Amino acid sequence: MLRIRMTAADLGRVRLARAPALMWETALSVHWLERRPQGMAGAQWLGAVAARPAPGTGLLRHLIPPRGYFPDFLTPYGTSPDFSEALEPVLCTSPVRLRADLALLPSRTRSTPHIRALTTADATAVHRLEQALRRHHDIAVAPFRAAVRESVAREHARASDLMVNGGTETLLADLSPLLRWRAPTLDVTYPTDRELCLEGRGLLLVPSYFCHGLPITLVCQDTTPVLVYPVAVRMPAATPAHDRSDHLAGLLGHSRAAVLEAAAQGGNTSQLARLADILVSSASQHLTVLRRAGLITSQRRANAVVHRVTSLGADLLAGRPAQQSARAQHLA
Residue 312 burial by CB count (10 A; 0-12/13-18/19+): exposed, middle or buried?
middle
As a whole-number percent, the residues of the chain with pLDDT over 70 amount to 89
Which residues neighbour 320 within 8 Å (Cβ) at sequence distance 6 or greater? 39, 40, 43
- pLDDT category at 54 given cuts 50, 70, 90 is low
Which segment of 118-127, 166-175, 243-252, 307-316 scores lowest on mean pLDDT?
243-252
Strands 194-197 and 296-301: unpaired
In this predicted structure, what is the pLDDT of residue 240?
43
> b/e per residue, 86-107, with b = 16+ CB within 10 A?
bbeebeebeeeebebbbeebee
Position 330 pLDDT exceeds 60? no
In this predicted structure, what is the pLDDT of residue 15?
95
Q: Among 224, 165, 214, which Cα is nearest to 67's?
A: 214
Please, what is the angle between helix 311-318 and helix 241-252, to 10°?
Answer: 120
Give the integer Cα–Cα distance in Å for 258 and 303: 24
Q: Among 191, 237, 221, 241, which Cα is nearest to 31's?
A: 191
How many Å is the Cα radius of gyration of the chain?
Answer: 21
Average pLDDT of the chain to the nearest whole number: 85
Q: Among 64, 76, 94, 61, which Cα is nearest to 24's?
A: 76
Position 243 pLDDT exceeds 60? no
Give the integer Cα–Cα distance in Å for 268 and 187: 22
Answer with the residue of higher pLDDT: 100 or 314.
Answer: 100
In this predicted structure, what is the pLDDT of residue 221?
73
Summarize pLDDT for 142-170 with one digit per residue, the tens.
888 888 988 999 899 899 988 988 999 99
- pLDDT category at 319 given cuts 50, 70, 90 is low
Position 222 pLDDT exceeds 80? no
Give the integer Cα–Cα distance in Å for 249 and 260: 10
Q: Among 84, 75, 62, which Cα is nearest to 23's?
A: 75
The mean pLDDT of 255-280, rounded to a whole number, is 84
Give the integer Cα–Cα distance in Å for 251 and 325: 8
CA–centroid distance for 13 within its chain: 21
Specify the DSSP element, H or E, that contains 276. helix 269-276
Summarize pLDDT for 191-207 with one digit per residue, the tens.
889 999 999 999 999 99
In this predicted structure, what is the pLDDT of residue 315?
74
Position 236 pLDDT exceeds 80? no
Position 184 pLDDT exceeds 80? yes
Position 283 pLDDT exceeds 50? yes
Position 242 pLDDT exceeds 60? no
Map out the domains of the chain with their CATH numbers: 2-19+146-230 (no CATH), 23-144 (no CATH), 241-329 (1.10.10.10)
Task: List alpha helices for 56-205, DSSP H.
Answer: 57-63, 83-91, 95-102, 107-110, 113-119, 123-140, 145-166, 168-174
The one-letter amino acid code at 95 reads: P
- Asked if the bond preceding 184 is cis, omega within 30° of 0, the reply is yes
Q: Pick the most confident of 98-102, 112-116, 242-246, 279-283.
A: 98-102
Position 328 pLDDT exceeds 50? no
